[in-house]
């Protein structure tokens, strides 16, 4: 960018003076001008100086304006670079919860610092052990010294305080309590270190290949110590397991709840609750080095989606991105009953030696597929059905099979069965029918 401020005065002074003379141009106007040759020369000189002055001023105005334009463009470019420099997330994932089908993803296998997303595994192990009657929701847990000294997001457990496992689990799911996670881990495994081994073992069983746990709550470890690691893909796998438990979903949709006889209020860290239709979970995470993360799930009609945003640069950005992913998914995808969308052209089969000449057929079971908007028009159907069958025919007896495909990929299929029984004709009845 050009800077002319320090030259303004010099330029204007120069423009107002005659080139090669100390006399100002304005002095020409005060001179008596004769009509002779000398007067014409003076008029010519005066016009020349005026044109020179006009040219210089015009050039200055042009350059000054151009410099301002450069400044605006430069500022605009800096703003654009600044916007580009902001990383909205490290990885994202959108999946359908029932099948695990990936609908959208970026860097989904990248191992990142999950922060409190780690507590999903703590909760899963607890719920699985409750299901196997190893531990119980009414178990009373006494807070240890180590649990009482855990920092970060917490319910401020005091050493010796007693709470039910149910209350501590609620505080983990609703308000992401670090101290409660530690107390639950000690109750299950004896100490937190042994519980971490259970966490890593379960992660391996689930196929979470880019995950490693070092503690039970996701807090950053000390300097030069290994840290928790989890990919968006693995967070999706973990979420699919956790949402199988109705009690977890009941807690994760709760905006606030009393704790410690009402003297402390648990506040849900998921601000999308009540602000996004169908939102009912699941877990947020944050610490300075990890950034802001969320595993969000929502259900509309018969479609449940799970969105994962890892390592966002700002709290609002993770919620905005999760909301964007889920909204896109609900707009683009739906479960389609293929039997209703693409019905077999033949709905009955000829019966030989039967009291009925034809038997109606039906699909043994419904076949549903997750389809993107407009894909149902491209579904093809393969029908395996004989021209005739012989009586007797039982209701529900397999007659054939139907298979549905999309672009060469199998979507599903089911048997075609008799919708009604057909009895076999007697000998004389067969003769009459034959003739």
Could you give the residue numbers annotated as active site?
116, 119, 176
CA 176/CA 119 separation, integer angstroms:
8
Whether the bond between 392 and the residue before it is cis, its omega within 30 degrees of 0, is yes
Among residues 3, 209, 236, the alpha carbon closest in space to that of 98 is found at 236
Tokens at 51, concatenated: 């044109």
**Which residues make beta-bridge pairs with 390?**
352
φ and ψ at residue 339, rounded to 5 degrees: -65, -30
Residue 210 burial class via C-beta count within 10 angstroms: exposed 0-12, middle 13-18, buried 19 and up:
middle
CA 196/CA 207 separation, integer angstroms:
17
Among residues 301, 258, 251, 298, the alpha carbon closest in space to that of 276 is found at 298
């Amino acid at each position: 960018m050009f800077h002319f401020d320090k030259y303004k005065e010099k330029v204007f002074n120069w423009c107002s003076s005659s080139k090669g003379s100390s006399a100002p141009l304005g002095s020409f106007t005060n001179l008596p001008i004769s009509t002779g040759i000398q007067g014409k020369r003076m008029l010519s000189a005066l016009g020349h100086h005026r044109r020179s002055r006009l040219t210089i001023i015009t050039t200055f105005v042009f350059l000054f304006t151009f410099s301002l334009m450069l400044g605006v463009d430069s500022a605009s470019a800096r703003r654009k670079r600044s916007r580009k420099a902001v990383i909205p997330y490290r990885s994202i994932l959108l999946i359908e919860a029932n099948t695990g089908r990936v609908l959208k993803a970026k860097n989904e296998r990248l191992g990142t610092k999950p922060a409190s997303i780690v507590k999903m595994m703590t909760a899963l192990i607890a719920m699985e052990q409750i299901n196997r009657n190893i531990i119980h929701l009414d178990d009373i847990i006494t807070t240890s010294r180590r649990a009482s000294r855990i920092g970060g997001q917490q319910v401020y457990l005091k050493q010796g305080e007693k709470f039910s496992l149910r209350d501590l689990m609620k505080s983990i799911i609703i308000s992401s309590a670090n101290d409660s996670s530690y107390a639950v881990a000690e109750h299950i495994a004896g100490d937190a270190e042994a519980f971490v081994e259970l966490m890593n073992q379960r992660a391996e069983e689930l196929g979470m290949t880019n995950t490693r746990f070092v503690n039970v709550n996701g807090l950053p470890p000390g300097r030069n110590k290994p840290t928790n690691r989890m990919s968006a893909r693995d967070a999706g796998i973990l979420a699919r397991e956790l949402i199988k438990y109705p009690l977890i979903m009941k807690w994760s949709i709760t905006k606030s709840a009393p704790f410690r006889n009402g003297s402390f209020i648990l506040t849900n860290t998921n601000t999308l609750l009540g602000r996004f239709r169908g939102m009912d979970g699941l877990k947020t995470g944050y610490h300075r080095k990890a950034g802001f993360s969320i595993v969000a799930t929502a259900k509309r009609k018969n479609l449940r989606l799970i969105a994962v945003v890892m390592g966002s640069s700002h709290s609002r950005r993770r919620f905005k991105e999760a909301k964007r992913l889920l909204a896109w998914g609900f707009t683009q995808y739906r479960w389609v009953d293929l039997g209703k969308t693409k019905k077999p052209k033949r709905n009955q089969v000829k019966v030989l030696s039967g009291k009925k000449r034809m038997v109606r057929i039906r699909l043994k079971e419904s076949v549903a597929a997750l389809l993107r908007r407009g894909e149902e028009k491209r579904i093809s159907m393969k029908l395996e059905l004989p021209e005739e069958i012989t009586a007797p025919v039982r209701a529900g007896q397999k007659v054939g099979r139907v298979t549905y495909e999309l672009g060469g990929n199998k979507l599903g299929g089911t048997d075609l069965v008799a919708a009604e029984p057909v009895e076999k004709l007697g000998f004389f009845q067969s003769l009459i029918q034959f003739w």
